[in-house]
Copies of this chain bind each other. A is one copy, B any other.
Amino acid sequence: MPVQMTLTALPGMPLVKPGDDLAGLILEGLKRSALDLRDGDVIVVAQKVVSKAEGRWVDLKTVQPSSAAIELAAQTSKDPRLVQVILSESRQVVRTRAALIIVLHRLGFVCANAGVDHSNVGGPNGDGGEWVLTLPEDPDRSAAELRRRLEQASGARLGILIIDSHGRAWRLGTAGVAIGVSGFPALLDLRGRPDLFGYILQVTQVGLADEIAAAASALMGQADEGRPVIHVRGLPYALREGSVSELIRPPEEDLFR
């Protein structure tokens, strides 16, 4: 058997509204694609549709910016109410530059604008307006709940990733990263495994969830909300329990904060 991995975008996924049954929509999408779920398959879901199903909308008209938000908004040429939402989702501001606020998100990772999304979201009723979308409250929990439903429906042992696109410190362009994980080896620890020549490998923690997130993200595209769910078959590693927290560098080891 060749080592082969196939990623398939579920066709015809509808726009997602608050309260929608995302697991049900994914099962319908699988049916349309004539894909089944087998042991070892991975389902990768865009953060945006998870947040929408969970109703993680904020109406900027209801937001009262703090004085800190007003100050930071002036520095970054942003809407003070949007900055207030960003600060509410963050533990700490790491860096700022025109139009960019890099924060330590309440979920533990460093990202731009706290993952708060203004473009391509359309509001809870799809009519646009002054709505922004925040990340799921607990993406690991969202992934676990999706997994429970999809495993129940299929009888298969699955991995679930919820992903977003993040900028990188030294490289241009975003890349998909995992923000929620269930049943998947987020960090693959190969330390101490001897290589072909008997050396002990030194740096061999692989961010596997992020590598698969990046692969799926390439298939999802950005502007097109029509491909928010990717089915992955052929992951060349065994599934296990896992959490996105495996991927978060402890602050005391972080040289770039």
Within 8 Å of chain B (Cβ to Cβ): is A11? yes
What are the interface flags for A184-214 relative to B under an 8 Å C-beta threshold, 1 for contact and 0 otherwise?
A: 0011101001111111111111111011101
Q: Is A60 an interface residue (CB 8 A)?
A: no
B171 close to A33 (CB less than 8 A):
no
- Closest chain B residue to A99, Cβ basis: B202
Known contacts A6-B4, A218-B208, A223-B193: A256-B177 contact under CB 8 Å: no
How many copies the complex holds: the figure is 2
Contacts of A97 in B (CB 8 A): 255
Asked whether any CB of chain B lies closer than 8 Å to the CB of A138, the reply is: no
A169 at the B interface (CB under 8 A):
yes
**Dominant secondary structure at the A interface:** loop
- Which residue of chain B lies nearest to A34 when distances are taken between CB atoms in the complex? B2
The reply to whether A172 and B9 contact each other, CB–CB distance below 8 Å, is no
Inter-chain contacts of A5 with B (CB < 8 A): 6-7, 215, 218-219
Interchain CB contact under 8 A, A174 and B203: yes
| Closest-CB distance, A172 to chain B (whole angstroms) | 5
The segment from A18-26, A117-125, A151-159 that touches chain B is A117-125
CA distance A5 to B221 in the complex (A): 13
Alpha-carbon distance A198/B81, docked complex (angstroms): 22
Partner of A196, one of B176, B225, B255: B225
Give chain B residues whose Cβ lies under 8 Å from the Cβ of A193.
Answer: 223
